[in-house]
Amino acid sequence: MTRKYNLNHRLAACFLLTGLFLQSCDGFSNQVIPQEKEQSSRTLELSDNPLVNTGQAIVTSGGYLASFYEDEGELKANLRIDQTQAEPNYKGVPVLVEEGVDLSYLTKLDYKTQQNRIQPSHKNGTIDQVIIFNGGVAGGMMGGTQKTRTSQRIPDLTDMKELRRHFTKGYLEITPKNYKQLVEFSESQAASFTNYEGGLFVKGWETSSEFDALMDLLLSFNVIKKFKINSAREDKAELAEVIGKALQFYKELTELDLNGCGLGDGMIEDILESIAAPEKLRILNVSNNNLSTELVASLQVRLPNAQIRSQGETSQRSIGFSSTASSISSNSEHNSSGKVTPNNSSSTMFDSVSAGNVGTEKTGKEAESIAGLYSPEITAYKRLRLNQFLPAISKDEIEYGRELGHGGFGAVYQASCQGDNVAIKKLLNTSEKQVADFQKEAIIMANHRHNNIVAFLGYCPEENALIMEYMPGGSLASLLKSTKEVSWQERYQIALDVAEGMSYLHDCGIVHCDLKSDNVLLDSNKRAKVTDFGISALKREVTSGKSSYGEWLGGTYRWMAPEIFHTSKNSKAGDVYSYGMVLWELGARKLPFAEIKVLLPLCEHIKAGNQEVVSADTPQELKKVIEQCWLPEPPLKKETSGQDRPTMKRVRYLLEEGHSSFLRRESGEILDQDQDKEIEVYKKAAEQGDAEAQFKLGLCYEIGQGVKIDWQEAVKWYQRAAEQGFVTAQSKLGGIYLAEKNYQEALKWNQKAAGQGDVSAQYNLAWMYGNAKGVTQNYQEALKWNKKAADQGLGASEYNLGWMYERGLGADQNYQEALKWYQKAADQGFGGAQAKVEETCNRLEEEKKKLDNIIKAWPHGEKIVSQLKSASGILDFSLCQLTSEQISILIKHPHFNQIHTFKLGRSQIGDEGTIKLAAALSNSQIHTLDLAYNQIGPAGAIKLAAALPNTQIHTLSLGGNRIGDTGAQELAKILPSTQIHTLYLGDNQIGAVGASKLAATLPSTQLHTLNLDYNQQIGAAGASELAAALPNTQIHTLNLYNNRIGDVGAQELAKVLSSTEIHTLSLGGNQISNAGAQQLANALSNTQIHTVNLRENNISAEMKRLLQQQHPNIKFGM
């Protein structure tokens, strides 16, 4: 049947197909439309639009379009792609039109827009159809597009007329004004929201009461590539939580803009931990937030693929009255308003943290620990991805002490294990089910480490016992029940510690189920750690009924959330309630609901939602948190009632936010009621030159304690205190000048403070040398200062050391050493360190396999590899003839650092090999090193000597080399700084000069055995110097064989023997005659000597008999 078409339709088709064939011709490229993409899910149909009103074909005048026509109800076209051809190249090509195409409207659009709406489809090298789209090509289509009217169409958000006004520069804006409209669309067009790949811009939510509901809309999206939020919302914790939860689902995110949100370090840390695919991030904007210098400096390391933008004002909290470095934010700067603000410069080198956060770094998730982190559906042990390996400890290594506590399932003992003070949790009932659950608890504990979680050390299968860190401070319950005075500063710190530990567990998907003061333990410094969390992971939110330990849900009723009595389900929210009860205990110092003694009335009382009364002296900051923790949950909470109970992470934020004001108020209580008079006292003492008063006065001006904030006054008093040598003020100035980019002054003050052991200044120096700020870039210096800070436990420097060794900055690349420092940082819970531990372990395994293959190709290679893999810790490569090049390969082997005894005698490593070996010794466990007869000269000895103070070596053999007096002098200089007690320097061409230098330092060393045999040139002069030093040494074995000391040397030794600890003396081959022997004979009676070697001297037989007769208890070699 012939259809009739009006003129408008004819013109529309002509315009569209003309544009279409411009794309199809050779040499034409439309950059907007990809040539081949994954097949679209848009609905396409063979066109039945009325386009012509006659049965005749429409011929166009355009060069490429020959004609189009209707054929049995389908629109088809003849195409002339090649202009040189008179006839069309393609005939009868079907035309597909997407549903809803308004051809009349399309003819009015500009040429480029039309071009974007049509596309040729290629198949097997030819054009098999042309396609007309309704809203532009979204990703293109593959050849052979399905010709169907039934496929479900997924419209693009950008093409919805109703939403166009909500788009700005590629971002869909979400504001309180358009929020509800977007929610309606998200419900009706769910697939479009899910597949939207553009940007989101959340703005204008500073005061809106519907902020909590924003989360539902954000979770409607799945493949967002750009996320931008600009909100100065007062509740920063709520803001960070919403951002973090949303970012977990945006797996294609490439740009994140947090400019102007006013977030702090911890919040940014947790947001970064939440990003689903951080390696895809290309731009991160954290400008105008309250970030420390160290956090900003760490971003480039954590996100190496991203451009970091950190301009504008940032600030760092000051945490109160303290003269300790760890209490002071040393990296700060000031602006015109006088507000203290930290430097916002970024680093290209180090991940970092301020000294004030040592040991409290947030860890967030551990990627390899648990599947589906943050997912509420994780409800069983089998869902945990845990390393099933447990460090087994034999019962023979355990010595039980006193019992610390007991329950229905077992007891806890203080014990000694492998020489360490530990706690042993021993299962007393031994049913198979209980043992299996107990082992699961051990596995869970072994897989989770945090600074505020009691550390798991091992498992004893013979005893069914867990070996854990011993906490000498006992339980929090015991402390609160005691009459000991516990300041609110201490109690607030305990609250923070427990919040850290619980937040970590929840991040790992673990519900504690039994949080109470009995399960919070304290170390010797009253720092708190959470315990008994392992078995809780077996009792997830779906668990109900009796547990295998005979305790309902693992909880204790007095701390249990009311909703659990209704639902019989444990949850993270239940843990938060229990945490609120622990906070209540900190104030009340008694058992919750202590007046109710009977179990059933107690349960009914709690089930009804009744709450304890918070004690009057509890700080307001804690009261607010307790109220939040006790907010009702369903079924007690009505749908229309107020806030939800916060997450543990948010509780931690609230505590941290309140901590600064709490400390300021507490420090203010130290002042007299008349603060003006107290400040005057400070001023008077400061004016009189009291450095501590000067520093504290500066701090008052910085934080506004008793005076108005005055940055210039603060710096003035810090400067005066620093000039008097007050180390904390020096460190403070170093941080201030560093933030202001006054690198000359920063270097000066950081050097002064770092030299006195200030950890913050040490870190700052490392940063400056590593990043060439004010100094020439020097990775060796950066490594040195990071090492000093790391030795004081600074997690950031531990991480940085791992990072430097991994990359070979400042030292040879050493994955084993990198692993050591990453592990130390991870043990403190330093963010990102655990992932680096796992990554480095994998690299080490690859490195080991590669090096094994190389070494096996050497002479004796199989023997070397076998010894490296041995558990003995001994490498005996004597006579293996290793070269310096082979040494450089050997020391890179991962197992080399497990060696404690290294014998390399009679090889040919020379100075070059010795120098390479020396560089690796400080990172090894070697305590016994034999390098005898290796052609080592002074150069090798000098480098070896320089390395020894940083090693564990106590026995060193360098016999048969050529170190000479120069080498002996260098060794003498460093011996007092080493652990060496046994030193073999025989046959080394050492003369009187070298012996004299050794003698001068012997009293300051740990040496008890000194071998100088066969040096020949020591002579009487050298022997005399040694003799003079011996009474003040610990030496009990002295070998001077073949040194030409003669009678003079023997006589000098004889004079002092009675004042020494020497019991073994070797003087053979020394040209000693009867005169010298007589002097020795006269002296031996009052000595400790039991063995004397006088072989190959000029002593007569008669004198030898006389010696033996006079000293029958001495063994003579003559």
Catalytic positions: 514
Question: Is residue 785 a contact partner of residue 771, using CB atoms and an 8 Å limit?
Answer: no
* DSSP per residue, 682-705: HHHHHHTT-HHHHHHHHHHHHHTS
DSSP 26: T
At 319, which amino acid appears? I
And the tokens for 691? 């450095």
Strands 520-522 and 474-475: what pairing?
antiparallel
**Interhelix angle 648-670/572-588, nearest 10 degrees:** 20
Of 396, 392, 399, 373, residue with least CA distance to 384 = 373
Query: Which spans in 475-571 are helix H?
Result: 476-481, 488-507, 562-567
Pairing of the two strands 65-71 and 283-285: unpaired
Strand-pair category, 167-168 with 171-174: antiparallel
Whether the Cβ atoms of residue 917 and residue 889 lie closer than 8 Å to each other: no
Please, which residues bridge with residue 405 across strands?
412
What CA–CA distance (Å, rounded) separates 358 from 328? 12
Q: How many helices (H) and strands (E) does the chain have?
A: 37, 34
In this structure, what are the phi and psi dihedrals at residue 437, rounded to the nearest 5 degrees? -65, -35
DSSP structural state of residue 358: T
Q: Which residue has the tokens 């990453």?
A: 822
CB atoms within 10 A of CB 273: 22
* CA distance between the termini of the chain: 132
Q: Which secondary-structure segment (H or E) carries 713?
A: helix 711-723
773 class by beta-carbon count within 10 Å (0-12 exposed, 13-18 middle, 19+ buried): middle
**What is the DSSP secondary structure assignment for residue 392, as one 8-state letter?**
B
Amino acid (one-letter) located at 63: G
Helix H or strand E segment including 1050: helix 1046-1056
Give Cα separations from 367 to 253, 341, 384, 524, 766 (angstroms).
Answer: 19, 34, 11, 32, 30
Residues 6+ apart with CB under 8 A from 855: 861, 864, 865, 868, 889, 890, 893
Round to whole Å and give the CA distance between 853 and 346.
42
Task: List the structure tokens of 630.
Answer: 């006790």
- Token duo for residue 960: 């048969």
